[in-house]
Every structure is written in C-alpha cells, then in structure tokens.
C-alpha cells in the first residue's frame, strides 16, 4: 500500500485532503508543518511514496520543504504535490525547480487530485482525465447568510468577502428569508443562525431541504441546553455541520481563515437529502456480513461530520440491548457543546446517554459519550477512562484510542462501528480491533453525509459488513444477543 504524507498547518485543510483521498487504497499520515514533516520522513520505518504539502506555512514554506525532501532523498525521494491559494504561483515555474511534481490551486478539485495521485503512484483505480491545474478556473462558492442580528450578518459577510473565491449572494434576517434565498439564489452553502424569531433554524433547515436542498451550516456562539438542542435538532433536520462564529478582528486572522477553509471544504461535499420530510427508507444491504461472528460484549462508535443525526437515528435500534452491553461513543463536536449533545441524544432517543467521566463503571445501562477535548477509553474491562492524552491524527477525542482499548480489554468481543465523517479518524484503531479478533460494522457511504471515515475503513479492508443506518441498529443488536458463535 502506497504511503502518503499530508502536510498543512491547518487541521481543516488536512482533513479536506484526507477526505479527497479516502476512496484510494493509501496509508495516509499527516504533519502540521515543514519541520514536523521532515522529522516524520526521517524517522519513518517505511519510506513515503508521496508528500502533499501546502505552500504557505510558518517557518518553512512548502517549496522549501520540497527542496529539502528532494535533496535529502536523491533518486529515492518521494513525489511531491504542492497546494496553494497563492494566485502568483504557476505550475510550470514550480515544476521547473525540480522539487515539485504537481501543483493544485485552492480550493482543491477533489476528483482531479485523486486522479493525479492515482497516476503518480500508478494505482490500479479508474482515474478521471487530468486537466492541467494552471488552466482550471477556480469555482466561486455562492453563500447565503441568515442571522436575525445586523451585527451577526455584517461579521460573517466581512469575513467571507475577504476571499475572492467566496461570493455572498444574499443575506436574510430570519428563517423564511433564508428559505426564499435558497430557492431564488441556488447557493452552495447557507450559513444559518439556529436561534431566530419566527421560522427558527430547525424549521428553516427542514423547509430548505424540502424545497431547494443545499448545504446548510449552523453558525453558533451560544452554549447551554436550549440553544444546543436547537442546533442538534437542525442537524437531524438536514444541516450538514455546526461552526463557531468568529470573533471580531482581522478578517485574515486564524479564526477567519479557518472559517473560510471550512466553507471551501463543505462546499465539496455532495448534498444529501435526508429523511426530514418523510419516513426513512430502508436501504439494501451493502456488502455481506461474516458467515459467523462473535458475540459483541462491548461496542465503540466513532462519528464526525453528520454524526449527531446519525447517532440519533442509530441508537433507537439498540434499545433492547442497551442494558446488557457497554456502549461508548466518540463524536467530534464543537467546543462547549458536549454535555448538550449528550442531553439532546438522551431526549430524542429516550435512552440513557451520559457524558463520560473518568472512573465511571463500564457496564450496560449507560451509553457513554466522550467529553470534548479528552479521549474516551476502556480503562479496564470494568472502568471507563477519560484521559488528556495528545491528539491522535489531530483529533481529541479520537476513535483510535477507543477502538484500541476495546481490543485490549474485550478481544474478539469488541465491536467497532464507523459512522459518517470526514477524514479517517478511528481507522488505525480498527486495525488493532481486527487484530484482536473483534468485528467492524461500517455505515454505507451512500447513506453518509460525508463518507470519508467509512470509506477509509472499507478501503483498508476492515469492514465485516457495510450497512445503511436502518440496518446497523438491528445488526448490532443481533450480535449482542448472539451466543458465543452464531451463523446467518
């Protein structure tokens, strides 16, 4: 399997690139800057075949990193793809240096990037014709802003208009205005305040997804049970993600840049019209379950973008087995909203979802949710651990420590469940879980809001079954109820 190192000082951009490559059979690693990249390349037990690096990074830019990598590696140096939003860079000039093998402008065309990576690494996968990146027009992302305060609308517009690749095509002061603009302007993204008078964020999201489906993103600077409940209800109604409102300040500051990067990332995600306006359809099974499987004695679930709604849909199918098996959940969530997410899930599922605490008993009867900023693990077969360890793949909490701990303490009784999400968090943990004899169920990519994490698990060969959300719950319950060994 080809090894690829992704280098960018932005977590968001690293996740974007990982998502673009999730469908390829690659061993992906990340580095946060040039020095980190050089250290990883130098200490790698197996050499990297390709480095994909951003150009603008602190201390050492991507071109300097490319020079050092090529000069140190000589004829054995990895191939290098440079990515940049700098409009003055030209592919032919970069190729002429001898340090760069390909160049892509931001926002990155995911299909073209995957095709170029496939070509460079000679992967045996279908690839789209590669259009020279210097000739591709950069698409402008059409955005609508909906906020009931003039200050909120002005702030977001100021941040977005600082980027010529984002066009604010309309602003609304209430939910109905957002619906009207969605129908009239056909935006790629709608930034929506959840707490608005009249037609609130939840109702507006539901109506938008029914009349003019697009990517709805909830913008929030509010915490507490009621605002958070509105936010998570909006994700269940079809909102794609939740982002924090940036503070007033430099529109080129880190918060503003992160917001624009996030919008560019989300604009590349296909629009998924979900079940907000009707019954959920039962999807056909994708792939096949094992002909035999072990009884599940502990369950770990990992999710990211689109996860709150997916978890809310999955858990009711486990109502009959919650009392007999421990269930631990890692969901990447906006800072300050972890407790509210646990409360919302408990309310909408009518199941005992609780925010995990260190030392909590690991037993049936409680569904434990990872707190924000800490890893959730099985400390022992009887105890939950909530630990401060370093981020894993830039995530904390991460699914990898969770799955690894279940493998360690439950062996072939461990069941890992990978739900919708961007990137590949948790996939390394699934490797340990499989090595211990455990089982892995994966949400089918076509039922995901973002298929990066499930796609990564599938491409690595870790999935024992690939199922829709409607099928996952019954399948998990069947494995919990099974004797030591059962056959379909």
User: How does residue 249 score in pLDDT terms, banded at 50, 70 and 90?
Assistant: low
- Known catalytic residue at 332: yes
User: How does residue 223 score in pLDDT terms, banded at 50, 70 and 90?
Assistant: low
Same-domain pairing of 256 and 310: no
Same-domain pairing of 126 and 145: no
Query: How far is the C-alpha of 318 from the C-alpha of 148, rounded, in Å?
Result: 39
Q: Does residue 285 belong to any structural domain of this protein?
A: no
Whole-number Cα distances in Å, 291 to 7, 267, 297, 414, 481: 41, 40, 19, 17, 16
Same-domain pairing of 244 and 376: no
Contact yes or no for 428/456 (Cβ under 8 A): no
Residue 134 has pLDDT above 70, yes or no: no
User: Comparing 132 with 387, which gets the higher pLDDT?
Assistant: 387
User: Comparing 246 with 83, which gets the higher pLDDT?
Assistant: 83
Q: Does residue 203 belong to any structural domain of this protein?
A: yes
Contact yes or no for 217/192 (Cβ under 8 A): yes
Whole-number Cα distances in Å, 345 to 236, 277, 350: 11, 20, 8
Question: How many CB atoms neighbour CB 72 within 10 A?
Answer: 12
b/e burial code for range 29-60 (CB count within 10 A of at least 16 → b): bbbbbbebbbebbeeeeeebbbbbbbbebeeb
Which residue among 93, 111, 135 closes a domain? Answer: 135
Poorest-pLDDT segment among 60-74, 406-420, 424-438: 60-74
What pLDDT score was predicted for residue 267?
87
Chain segment 259-317, per-residue pLDDT in tens: 888 888 888 887 765 543 333 333 334 344 444 678 999 999 999 988 999 999 999 99
Same-domain pairing of 249 and 324: no
Which residue among 135, 167, 197 closes a domain? Answer: 135
b/e burial code for range 446-458 (CB count within 10 A of at least 16 → b): ebbbbbbbbbbbb
Chain segment 331-378, per-residue pLDDT in tens: 998 777 888 899 999 999 999 999 999 999 999 999 999 999 999 999
Same-domain pairing of 197 and 116: no
Q: Does residue 287 belong to any structural domain of this protein?
A: no
* pTM for the whole structure: 0.67
Whole-number Cα distances in Å, 355 to 59, 343, 398: 40, 8, 15
Same-domain pairing of 126 and 230: no
Q: Does residue 286 belong to any structural domain of this protein?
A: no
What pLDDT score was predicted for residue 143?
96
Same-domain pairing of 229 and 305: no
Place of tokens 């592919």: 91
Catalytic residue among 66, 304, 398, 444: 304
Chain segment 139-159, per-residue pLDDT in tens: 799 999 999 888 888 889 988
Contact yes or no for 402/370 (Cβ under 8 A): yes
Same-domain pairing of 185 and 84: no
Same-domain pairing of 7 and 120: yes
- Known catalytic residue at 133: no
Q: Quick check: helix, strand or coil at residue 456?
A: helix
C-alpha dihedral, 378 to 382 to 388 to 394, nearest 10°: 10
Poorest-pLDDT segment among 111-115, 229-233, 245-249, 300-304: 245-249
Residue 197 has pLDDT above 70, yes or no: yes
Q: Does residue 282 belong to any structural domain of this protein?
A: no
Catalytic residue among 20, 332, 375, 395: 332
Which residue among 247, 277, 307 closes a domain? Answer: 277
Chain segment 172-191, per-residue pLDDT in tens: 999 999 999 999 999 999 99
CATH code of the domain containing 477: 3.40.50.180
Question: How many CB atoms neighbour CB 375 within 10 A?
Answer: 24
Same-domain pairing of 307 and 416: yes
Query: How far is the C-alpha of 403 from the C-alpha of 409, rounded, in Å?
Result: 10
Please tell me the total count of domains within the chain.
3
Contact yes or no for 104/149 (Cβ under 8 A): no
What pLDDT score was predicted for residue 268?
82
Q: Give the residue numbers spanning the domain of 411.
A: 292-487
Q: Does residue 283 belong to any structural domain of this protein?
A: no
CATH code of the domain containing 116: 3.40.50.2300
Contact yes or no for 424/305 (Cβ under 8 A): no
Mean pLDDT rounded to a whole number for the chain: 86
- Known catalytic residue at 304: yes
Catalytic residue among 425, 439, 464, 468: 425
CB-based contacts of 99, cutoff 8 Å, min separation 6: 63, 66, 67, 69, 70, 80
Same-domain pairing of 356 and 300: yes
Same-domain pairing of 147 and 128: no
Q: Does residue 284 belong to any structural domain of this protein?
A: no
Poorest-pLDDT segment among 12-21, 46-55, 312-321, 394-403: 12-21
CA atoms within 13 Å, Cβ hemisphere of 142:
10
């Amino acid at each position: 399997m080809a090894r690829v190192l992704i280098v960018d000082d932005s977590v968001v951009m690293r996740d974007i690139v990982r998502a673009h490559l999730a469908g390829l059979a690659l061993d992906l690693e990340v580095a946060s800057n040039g020095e980190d990249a050089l250290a990883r390349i130098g200490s790698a037990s197996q050499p990297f075949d390709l480095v994909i690096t951003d150009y603008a990074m602190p201390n050492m830019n991507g071109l300097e990193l490319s020079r050092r990598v090529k000069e140190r590696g000589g004829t054995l140096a990895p191939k290098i793809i440079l990515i940049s939003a700098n409009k003055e860079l030209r592919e032919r000039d970069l190729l002429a240096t001898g340090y760069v093998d390909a160049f892509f402008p931001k926002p990155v065309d995911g299909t073209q990037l995957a095709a170029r990576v496939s070509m460079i690494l000679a992967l045996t996968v279908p690839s789209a014709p590669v259009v020279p990146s210097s000739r591709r027009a950069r698409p402008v992302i059409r955005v609508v802003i909906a906020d009931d305060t003039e200050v909120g609308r002005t702030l977001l517009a100021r941040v977005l208009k600082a980027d010529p690749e984002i066009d604010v095509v309309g602003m609304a002061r209430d939910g109905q205005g957002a619906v009207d603009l969605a129908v009239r302007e056909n935006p790629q993204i709608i930034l929506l305040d959840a707490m608005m008078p009249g037609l609130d964020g939840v109702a507006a999201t539901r109506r938008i997804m029914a009349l003019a489906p697009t990517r709805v993103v909830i913008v929030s600077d509010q915490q507490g049970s009621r605002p958070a409940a509105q936010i998570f209800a909006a994700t269940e109604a079809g909102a794609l993600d939740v982002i924090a409102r940036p503070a007033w300040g430099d529109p080129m500051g880190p918060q503003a840049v992160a917001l624009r990067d996030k919008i560019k990332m989300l604009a590349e995600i296909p629009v998924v019209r979900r079940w907000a306006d009707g019954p959920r359809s039962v999807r056909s099974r994708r792939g096949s379950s094992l002909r035999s499987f072990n009884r599940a004695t502990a369950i770990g679930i990992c999710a990211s973008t689109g996860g709150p709604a997916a978890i809310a849909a999955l858990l009711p199918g486990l109502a009959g087995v919650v009392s007999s098996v421990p269930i631990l959940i890692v969901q990447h969530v906006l800072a300050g909203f972890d407790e509210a997410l646990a409360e919302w899930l408990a309310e909408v599922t009518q199941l005992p979802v609780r925010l995990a605490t260190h030392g909590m008993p690991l037993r049936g009867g409680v569904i434990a949710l990872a707190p924000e900023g800490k890893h959730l693990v099985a400390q022992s077969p009887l105890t939950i651990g909530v630990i401060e360890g370093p981020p894993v793949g830039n995530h904390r909490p991460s699914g990898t420590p969770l799955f690894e701990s279940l493998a360690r303490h439950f062996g072939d009784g461990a069941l890992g469940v990978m739900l919708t999400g961007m990137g590949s968090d948790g996939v390394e943990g699934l490797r340990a879980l499989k090595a211990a004899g455990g089982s892995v169920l994966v949400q089918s990519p076509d039922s995901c809001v973002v298929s990066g994490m499930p796609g990564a698990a599938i491409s690595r060969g870790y999935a024992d079954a690939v199922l829709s959300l409607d099928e996952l719950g019954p399948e998990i319950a069947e494995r919990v109820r099974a004797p030591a060994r059962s056959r379909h």
